[in-house]
Amino acid sequence: MSTLTLRPAPAPTGPPAVPATGAHARLDSRVRFGAGIALWAALLLVTGWWASGGGVRDLGGWESGLTSAGRLTGLLASVLLLVQVLLMARMPVLERAFGQDGLAALHRTVGFTSFTGMLAHVGLITWGYAAGELSAAPGELWDMTWTVPGMLPAAAGTACLVLVVVTSVRTARVRLRYESWHLLHLYAYLGVGLALPHQLWTGQEFTGSATRTVFWWGLWTAALLAVLVWRIALPLARSVRHRLVVTAVVPEGDGSVSVHLAGRRLDALGARAGQFLTWRFLSGTGWTRGHPYSLSAMPDGRSLRITVKDLGDGSAAVARLRPGTRVLVEGPFGRLTARARTAPDVLLIGAGVGITPLRALAEEFCAGPGRVTLVHRYAGTPLFARELTALARTRGCELVPVAGRRRGDGSWLGHGVGPVDDLTALRTWAPDLAHRDVYVCGPEVWTGLVLRTLTAAGVPAGRVHVEHFGW
């Protein structure tokens, strides 16, 4: 194991690599703000309709109060259910503003909230209809399911959503293979669809006026169209248009291979360094399962490259791909790109196979000494050692290899750095840390430790850009 000498970073020279306008970052932040406002406006609107329909007045009585509260939770849950679908529809404007992991985190929060609202809706309405007698509620629920129009499909839809939520709770999720969890998760679409007849036939707030009808149908149509366009039609159209094929599979050592791909008009794919796509290699069984892999080289309009570490059956199969294999892609996705950049100087911190998107970013960003520093952490054989050394030599990026096993639970650095704490080491490599954009990619726990050090160093949250390789 090599011991790293802590070498202070050289002073930046030359003009900044990019002007620090941060225009895209500001636009993305406005989109995030606008999306938040739209969500709250929709929730307030339906609450207003509930209140104007006697919702507040009905809260005065016990039975009517239960039913009224049940109506409100049902309305809010319905809005959130459709918002959840929109969040995962891969809409480019949201993808750019939040990033896919940001959207997934929101989807999770909104999902659990909407599910709780839906359970409260079922419980409160039934309790109210059972004349406020809790013991009579199960019988009432049974009767309503069989007699109220649209309730039977709604019950089936609720069962689908229960399945999805139960398998998404962290303790259950870690026991499932990603593929199984993902397949079960698709039942959420069925659950949402089955709730529709019940809402239209019995929900006064859904059809009580032309405005309400337009609002609900508009929301439903937007959710459906978003899924059809961005999750199905666009990936298919892109795959047909660009006709991506594997051109070579090159071993990189340490159980990793690089896959080189070529295709037509790849400039129009719009992929940027730091992004990832979901890949389906048409090489036989298992092709239906898409896997997300980041670009490991800056796209040049003619070819793409990914680098994959063997972590399971899907990634192991990549090493056996043959040149000429056709590929279907979804994406590009992710905001670990120049788009998120706000400052002229950049610090890239990557570990293990998480170095892949940073390798591509280094190629795009490196433009003179002292402007870009890449901290590369690895335990065994480093990925892209030769390529990164060449980038450092020819393009002036400052390379900091951090070798060796991690030195303990609280540190994200290897034994090679010697007896200094993580913050001191990082400040030595990048003294102007707080004024840089920092891009981070690596295992989840490791990333958490890096983020802690960055916070301690005073790097503003808006300057830290992270990609997680987990789900």
Ligand X SMILES: Cc1cc2nc3c(=O)[nH]c(=O)nc-3n(C[C@H](O)[C@H](O)[C@H](O)COP(=O)(O)OP(=O)(O)OC[C@H]3O[C@@H](n4cnc5c(N)ncnc54)[C@H](O)[C@@H]3O)c2cc1C
How is residue 128 written in tokens? 């109210």
* Closer of 129 and 279 to ligand X (Cβ): 279
> Nearest distance from residue 301's CB to ligand X, in Å?
20
CB nearer to ligand X: give 307 or 337.
307
Report the nearest approach of ligand X to the CB of residue 229 (Å). Answer: 22
**Least distance between ligand X and beta carbon 430 (Å):** 24
Of 81 and 257, CB closest to ligand X: 257
CB of 83 to ligand X, least distance (A): 22
CA gyration radius for the chain? Answer: 26
255 versus 416: smaller Cβ distance to ligand X: 255
Q: Which residue number has the CB closest to ligand X?
A: 312
For ligand X, the closer of residues 24 and 185 by Cβ is 185
Task: For residue 440, list its beta bridge partners.
Answer: 349, 466
For residue 439, give both structure tokens: 């891009």
Which tokens go with 157? Answer: 């839809």
Q: Which is nearer to ligand X, 50 or 469 (CB)?
A: 469
Question: Nearer Cβ to ligand X, position 62 or 471?
Answer: 471
CB of 37 to ligand X, least distance (A): 28
Residue 109 CA to residue 80 CA, distance in Å, equals 10
Considering beta carbons, is residue 60 or 470 the nearer one to ligand X? 470
Taking the chain, what is the end-to-end CA distance rounded to the nearest angstrom?
A: 32
Return the number of the residue (298 or 306) whose C-beta is nearest ligand X: 306
Assess contact for 303 and 262: CB atoms under 8 A: yes
CB of 306 to ligand X, least distance (A): 6
User: Given the complex with ligand X, which of 150 and 334 has the nearer CB atom?
Assistant: 334
Q: In whole angstroms, how close is the CB of 279 to ligand X at the nearest point? A: 9
The distance of closest approach from Cβ of residue 178 to ligand X in the complex, given in angstroms and rounded to an integer, is: 4
Q: How far is the CB of 329 from ligand X (least distance, A)?
A: 13
Q: Is-contact 154 197, C-beta < 8 A? A: yes
Rounded Cα distance, 341 and 465, in Å = 9
Closest to ligand X by CB, 237 or 311: 311
Residue of 450, 292, 309 lying closest to 384 (CA atoms): 309
156 C-beta neighbours (distance < 10 Å), count: 14
**Which residues are at the interface with ligand X (CB under 6 A)?**
177-178, 276, 291-294, 306-309, 311-315, 353, 356, 467, 469-471
259 pairs with which residues across the strands? Answer: 249, 306
For residue 386, give the nearest of 371, 401, 372 by alpha carbon. Answer: 401
Please report how close the Cβ of residue 198 comes to ligand X at its closest, in angstroms. Answer: 33
Angle at the Cα of 117 from the Cα atoms of 116 and 121, rounded to 5 degrees: 120
Q: Residue 180 CB, nearest distance to ligand X (Å)?
A: 9
Distance CA 387, CA 376 (A): 13
- State in angstroms the smallest separation of the CB of 447 from ligand X: 12
Which of 232, 220, 183 is CA-nearest to residue 86? 220
CB 121 within 8 A of CB 73: yes
Question: 102 or 292: whose CB is closer to ligand X?
Answer: 292
